[in-house]
Homo-oligomer: A and B are copies of this chain.
Amino acid sequence: YSWARKLGLVRKPAGFLSSISDDRGEELVYAGMPISQIFSQDLGIGGVVGLLWFRRRLPDYANKFIEMVLMVTADHGPAVSGAHNTIVTARAGKDLISSLCSGPRFGGALDDAAKMFTRAYDSGLTPEEFVEKTRKSGKLISGIGHLVKSLENPDKRVEIVVEFAKKNFDSTSILDYALAVQKVTTRKKSNLILNVDGAVACAFVDLLRGCKLFSKEEADQYVKLGSLNALFVLGRSIGFIGHFLDQKRLGQGLYRHPTDDITYFLHDLPTN
């Protein structure tokens, strides 16, 4: 053996380490569970996300919640910059993946809301103190505020998410905290409600922390790794692909931005 090692024949340590799936056996396995079993137990997309992202079979209500987040984030119309670029690229005749990849996607709002509310809650600030402290530092609270929706005209999506979490989760400490924050902010202005990003983000932290399948450190690590952002990216892919198919179906041609919507600022340059 040492002879073989010297000749460089022995197996080196593997170049890759992978811990979520295995395609080498009789049956494809996601996080230890054979694919046929995933179907027979009817895990759904949420369950598959649970297995491949969190390496475990999450409870059914968690799977359902993941699917709710994907549905909420699936699209936000053709005007936002990500969909816009997808559309422009599709109209340039590029393929689906090139079009999909050309659209910037941001789940930052979710990540930021999760971080702000969790940190405030963990550090023991009262809702009033948190609002005051954020205001003093000149920042807005991510997850608070909506241009149209308000206490009087509530966002049905928020109601659905909150109701679902309250009914199914073991704990909703962060979400409750965020709702208490909403009480403070809406005193100032009625549209400073907990918005859908805020509700989803807080409920998600509650889910990971409360479902008894993760230690607190693990739960927090998954948030830090960007799993909320990942949900947004996956969900919004549905919409971007929709816009790609839509443009192809409508037969829209190459886009060129109208030059009269561009200010060409070159007059400070010497006419060489």
The verdict on A102 contacting B105 (CB below 8 Å), with A11-B9, A92-B81 known, is no
Chain B residue contacts of A241, Cβ below 8 A? 52-53, 230, 233-234
Chain B residue contacts of A209, Cβ below 8 A? none
Q: What is the total number of copies of this protein in its complex?
A: 4
Q: Which residues in window 49-97 of A have CB below 8 A to B?
A: 49, 52-53, 55-57, 67-68, 70-72, 74-82, 84-85, 87-89, 91-97
Chain B residue contacts of A229, Cβ below 8 A? 96
A168 at the interface (CB under 8 A from B): no
Residue contact B259 to A79, C-beta cutoff 8 Å: yes
* Smallest Cβ-Cβ distance to A89: which chain B residue: B104
Determine how close the nearest CB of chain B comes to the CB of A210; give it in whole angstroms: 20
- On A, residues with C-beta under 8 Å from B are 4, 7-12, 14-24, 26-33, 35-40, 43-45, 48-49, 52-53, 55-57, 67-68, 70-72, 74-82, 84-85, 87-89, 91-98, 100-106, 148, 153, 156-157, 160, 221-222, 225-227, 229-230, 233-234, 237-239, 241-246, 248-250, 252, 254-266, 269-272
